[in-house]
Amino acid sequence: MDEKLGTILLTGGLGQLGYFTYLKLKHQYNICIVDDLSNAKVEPPEDVQFIKKRLPDEEIFEKLPDIDFIIHLAAQISIKKSIEKPIYDAQSNIYGTLALLEYARKQNVKKFIYISSAGTFGNPQYLPVDENHPRNPISPYGLSKLVGENYVKMYNDLYGLNTVSLIPFNFYSPLQNENDPYAGVIFKFLTAVKRDSNLTIFGDGRQTRDFINVKDVARALELALIKKTSSKTFNIGSGKATSIVDLADMILQISNKNLDITFQPAIKGEIKESYCSIEKAEIELDFSPKISLHDGLKDMYEKIIL
């Protein structure tokens, strides 16, 4: 076996981002995955140590090998579920994060990387949203991800734990499915087109989002792991605003199908415009997205299975 650079504990490693992060890092690191299978997209790979447990279950920590780095992706990710069951959400996202931080502190883990969420910002007060934008989450999910992020920062301040937090905007991948709470507009448009159905847009279609391919987010995680940066928070997105009507046009063009776009009344409370500044990640992590939205959508369109 090749010499590895250490062992990573990858929580949520069977989810959408987790699986692409595993693919990115598996050649250089030993990987141990903790996942409770509550929203898993893949089977546990054969070359990882897999622990099927739900954070913050303390038994997890008895089963772990020596861990050098933690990449913490496991989370309850449904906004709807967080509104229906806020305690369930907090158990995974707040206590789950805190239990891992405690483990990391006691074991002198070399680096702890946390994935936060654009949902911690709430409705944008200015654009592009940068890391200093006020945080006003509007769901228990947004709040629990923010509390997790604040705990991560506090463990750096209080205990000197080496930490980095990334705040991804909307990422997409062929691993999304219909039950996925994050399977937003991209998945819906692609599956509609595959079924030869017209595309439905709620509102005038001029609302914007910042879409980024999951492989670019996995690369940002690798940069956060290897760069000598600590106690920092970075937005991760494309840095570009894409309107929903432009997204629909792009998908129709990729599919080469002659389908229509229909418009329905806007969804109440929906955020009108959102995109982020990635300047900080560009300067300090050397990060820039490599996969264009067109290429990422084309790949997803070809891979998506109904």
CB of 198 to ligand NAD, least distance (A): 25
221 versus 245: smaller Cβ distance to ligand NAD: 221
Interaction residues for ligand NAD, span 186-245 (CB under 6 A): none
Interaction residues for ligand NAD, span 20-39 (CB under 6 A): 34-39
Q: How far apart are CA 173 and CA 303, in angstroms?
A: 9
Q: How far apart are CA 5 and CA 284, in angstroms?
A: 22
Among 111-119, 242-250, 260-268, 293-301, which window interacts with ligand NAD (CB under 6 A)? 111-119
| CB contact set of 188 (below 8 Å; sequence gap of 6+) | none
Q: How far apart are CA 65 and CA 192, in angstroms?
A: 45
Q: Is 101:156 a contact under the CB 8 Å cutoff?
A: no
Dig out the tokens for 175 from the structure: 């691993």
Q: How far apart are CA 214 and CA 218, in angstroms?
A: 6
Q: Is 122:167 a contact under the CB 8 Å cutoff?
A: no
40 versus 225: smaller Cβ distance to ligand NAD: 40
Give the H or E element holding residue 97. helix 96-106
Q: Should residue 12 be labelled a site residue for ligand NAD when binding is judged by CB under 6 A? A: yes
For ligand NAD, the binding residue among 31, 73, 143, 276 (CB under 6 A) is 73
Q: How far apart are CA 233 and CA 38, in angstroms?
A: 28
Q: Should residue 74 be labelled a site residue for ligand NAD when binding is judged by CB under 6 A? A: yes
CB of 129 to ligand NAD, least distance (A): 13
69 versus 171: smaller Cβ distance to ligand NAD: 171
Catalytic residue among 29, 103, 114, 141: 141
Interaction residues for ligand NAD, span 38-67 (CB under 6 A): 38-41, 54-55
What number of CA atoms fall less than 13 Å from residue 74's CA on the CB side? 31
Our answer to whether residue 95 is catalytic in this structure is no
Q: Should residue 182 be labelled a site residue for ligand NAD when binding is judged by CB under 6 A? A: yes
Residue 219's closest CA among 165, 288, 152? Answer: 288
Q: Per-residue x/- marks for ligand NAD, 125-164, CB under 6 A?
A: --------------------x-------------------
Dig out the tokens for 280 from the structure: 């900080």
Residue 284's closest CA among 244, 234, 238? Answer: 234
75 versus 251: smaller Cβ distance to ligand NAD: 75
User: Looking at the annotation, which residues are catalytic?
Assistant: 141
* Residues binding ligand NAD (CB under 6 A): 11-12, 14-18, 34-41, 54-55, 73-77, 92, 96, 115, 117-118, 145, 168, 170-171, 182
